Structure 1
Amino acid sequence: MLSVNFGKASEQCQDFCMGKKINGVFLKGMIGWVSKRANKYLSGQNLALNPDPGHLEALQNLKAALTPVHIAAILACLPEGLSEKSEAYTVYRDLKLTYATNNGELVTGSVLGLIFNYKAFRSYKASIYNGYTLAEQLGIDCCPYCNRHYTTTHHTYYVNDNGTAVEKRVFPEFDHFYPQKLHPVLALSFYNLIPSCTVCNTHYKNSRDSAHLFHPYTLHQHGAFRFTDFPKDVASLYGGGSAISIGFEYNCTDEMRIRLSNSKAFFGIKDIYDKCHGELIRDIIFKKIAFSKRYMEELAGAYTLTFEDAYKIVFECHFEDENVHKRPFSKLKKDIFESPDL
């Protein structure tokens, strides 16, 4: 439920679509890559393998609807326009294509799935702006849905069974905000690809409808919602074994509140935090009580630190709103620290 839009999204989207020079190598953008795939699968040779007049006409219409200009509009479509963009291609969603593989074998598959191929996008290619590149450039190091798990990216090596060092690129899953099963034309749209943890993407999200959820690329301030209703003293924290039950407070428009509330329920945020992280919540509250804002200011002054640096030392996360997504539980910790009731 965190916003990951910090003013760089439009620039990153342009790099994703047009390509970018990274470490001295120019990586081709997605517009060219998807256009090439559209030309490949909707070429004369493959169209000839689909002779049914009605079917052939649909494929030809799709080819006309997937010029580089149209593809660019799909890939760079802003969050608020994604649903409408998908609707424009609904007629092609279940359209199949029989095509010839490189070895001459005839295969039938979803034509939009072949053109906007997410699996191929995740496969590392040194000359193309791929899934690893996108995750690395975005730098979203913690799941924006739950703020519990890391979604980091790194390049490493491992030794295979033959004793050979094999290059490995590790990067997070991308949640399709609009599920690709229902919206195949959006499978590679920049604003539809959300770095996320496996729990949120697979166990909660999967192919469930998300049209009424909060979109992580929506810009909102830290105070749009807050964790609340914390135990207010040490005795209630550690006495009697009482269970933690956090609350939520909203300070935003009605539309934003509804979307944030829907996301809270959709991803089971309250349930997970209450049942799985009660001990952590108690420890954070105790730390807030023990290390007050005044103490933090004294710590900063004693060691010539900024307040943000002192906060990071004590709470082991960032204080700045634009960096909350970099470490797990940063949102929870900041809300506890800023709670007027503690």
Structure 2
Amino acid sequence: MIAINQDLVFFAYKNHKTEIDHFIHSTEKKIKSFRAKPTRTLKKKKVALLLTPLQEDYLDYLSANFKDIILGTPDDLLKFATHFETIIKAVDLGKESKPYIHRVFRDRLLCIMGYNSQRNKFYSKYFQGLGIKACVYCNSQLTISVKRQGLKNKALYQVDHYYPKSYYPCFSVSFFNLYPTCANCNLSKSNKPLKFVLYSNNPLLFSKSVFQFSISQISITNYRVNFEKEKLEIEFKGGNSKEMNKIFAVEQIYNTQKDVAEEILLKSIIYNDTYKRSLEKSFSKLYNKKDLNVQRLILGNYTLDTEIHNRPMSKFMMDIAKQLKLI
């Protein structure tokens, strides 16, 4: 629900430079090998695959620009996407595309690019380093899903591809193309286009969210009379909220969280300014910690727009608390 500074991705690259550079080098070699001797797996056997001239051009361009594609900014990816489109149109690589030969090529290339391997081995520590724990689309759930591996369960990051990997296998492991999401939002978005920027170099986009949650004023008034939380009406507005509601049902999701809204409403009555000052005075050593403040402890969640990726429902709770002047 808010962009992050794209410099954080470059910092993460520096922190994992050896591992990432090894992945880039080894994957580039695999692409060149596939270009020289294309094969596919059929009935557990490798069989020769005949590439079309366009597919050869696609691999040549990918190989020649591979590191820049993996580390390319959103602006870079747009330029690369435009060029890839001149070679093979994205829709021709899609799940229902024709001719069939392009789908076979896409699936083999996706396997070579190694997204599943990276998700299993690398993305957990990478996204933790970026500080993204909550779904970037709905902010209501963690970006973690559980996958069975052998006899054990493993917690893995759920990742949406801004440029769908079924249309753009070339970007399947490009860092700026990876959006951590919950499983529901990932499934809901699928291959749909969405006007949402996660990585940006524009401070206006990563300093304050364009989206806003609120409780309708009429339902607040009614609650204070009859205390019926089910009649509280949650609203979600700002930015492209209509599109977000259409794809992810954001407003509907949060209208199931009326108990949380009610708790914030009650806190706004109980925690008046005098009471908050007394708490701060009584526990001054605790409240002077750099990573804590009175507002965060009272709300039970993060209270700054720039922190909403840290924990689910932080945006919702923060906006309602500000509306009610709790924080």
Instruction: Tell me which interval the TM-score lies in, with the shorter structure as reference length.
Output: 0.7 to 0.9
In structure 2, the CA distance between the partners of 1:46 and 1:112, relative to structure 1 (3 Å rule), is closer
Please state whether the residue corresponding to 2:266 is helix, strand or coil.
helix
Please state whether the residue corresponding to 1:141 is helix, strand or coil.
coil
Contact map agreement 2:229 2:259 (CA 8 A) in 1? no
Overall identity of the aligned pairs, in %: 20
Contact map agreement 1:2 1:147 (CA 8 A) in 2? no
**Aligned equivalent of 1:309, options 293, 298, 310:** 293
Partner of 1:220: 206
Partner of 2:234: 246
Counterpart of 2:116, as a letter, is: K
- Aligned-partner Cα distance in 2 for 1:179–1:79: 14
Partner of 2:5: 5
- Aligned-partner Cα distance in 2 for 1:221–1:247: 22
In structure 2, the CA distance between the partners of 1:329 and 1:76, relative to structure 1 (3 Å rule), is same
Contact map agreement 1:42 1:60 (CA 8 A) in 2? yes
In structure 2, the CA distance between the partners of 1:45 and 1:208, relative to structure 1 (3 Å rule), is closer
Whichever structure has more helix as a proportion of its residues is 2
- Aligned-partner Cα distance in 2 for 1:284–1:180: 41
**Aligned equivalent of 2:74, options 71, 79, 100:** 79
1:42 partnered with 2:35: yes
Please state whether the residue corresponding to 1:227 is helix, strand or coil.
strand
In structure 2, the CA distance between the partners of 1:175 and 1:228, relative to structure 1 (3 Å rule), is same
Counterpart of 1:225, as a letter, is: F
Partner of 1:271: 252
- Aligned-partner Cα distance in 2 for 1:214–1:260: 10
Partner of 1:193: 178
- Aligned-partner Cα distance in 2 for 1:9–1:60: 31
Please state whether the residue corresponding to 2:220 is helix, strand or coil.
coil
Please state whether the residue corresponding to 1:171 is helix, strand or coil.
strand
Residue 293 of structure 1 deviates from its aligned partner by 4.6
Residues 249-268 of structure 1, C-alpha deviation per residue, up to 9 Å, x if partnerless? 54xxxxxx2x4542243211
- Aligned-partner Cα distance in 1 for 2:110–2:155: 24
Residue 80 of structure 1 deviates from its aligned partner by 4.1
- Aligned-partner Cα distance in 1 for 2:249–2:262: 20
Contact map agreement 1:174 1:194 (CA 8 A) in 2? yes
**Aligned equivalent of 1:289, options 244, 248, 269:** 269
Runs of 4+ that moved beyond 6 A: 95-98
TM-score computed with the length of structure 1 as normaliser: 0.73
- Aligned-partner Cα distance in 1 for 2:245–2:276: 31
Contact map agreement 1:142 1:328 (CA 8 A) in 2? yes
In structure 2, the CA distance between the partners of 1:173 and 1:152, relative to structure 1 (3 Å rule), is closer
Count of paired positions: 299
RMSD: 3.6
Residue 175 of structure 1 deviates from its aligned partner by 0.9
Contact map agreement 1:79 1:217 (CA 8 A) in 2? yes
Partner of 1:102: none
Partner of 1:163: none
Residue 82 of structure 1 deviates from its aligned partner by 3.2
Counterparts of residues 1-80 of structure 1 (less than 5 Å): 1-5=1-5, 7-12=7-12, 14-15=13-14, 19-20=16-17, 26=19, 28-44=21-37, 49-50=48-49, 55-68=51-64, 70-80=65-75
- Aligned-partner Cα distance in 2 for 1:260–1:328: 18
Residues 143-162 of structure 1, C-alpha deviation per residue, up to 9 Å, x if partnerless? 121111123599xx9994xx
Higher relative contact order (CA 8 A, sep 6+): 2
Greater mean alpha carbon deviation, residues 319-328 or residues 86-95: 86-95
In structure 2, the CA distance between the partners of 1:57 and 1:108, relative to structure 1 (3 Å rule), is closer
Residue 248 of structure 1 deviates from its aligned partner by 3.8
Counterpart of 2:186, as a letter, is: N
Residue 226 of structure 1 deviates from its aligned partner by 1.9
Contact map agreement 2:71 2:174 (CA 8 A) in 1? yes
Partner of 1:232: 220
- Aligned-partner Cα distance in 2 for 1:108–1:176: 19
Unaligned runs of 5+ in 1: 99-106, 125-129, 161-165, 251-256
- Aligned-partner Cα distance in 2 for 1:291–1:33: 58
Residues 77-114 of structure 1, C-alpha deviation per residue, up to 9 Å, x if partnerless? 2234434422322334538889xxxxxxxx97635323
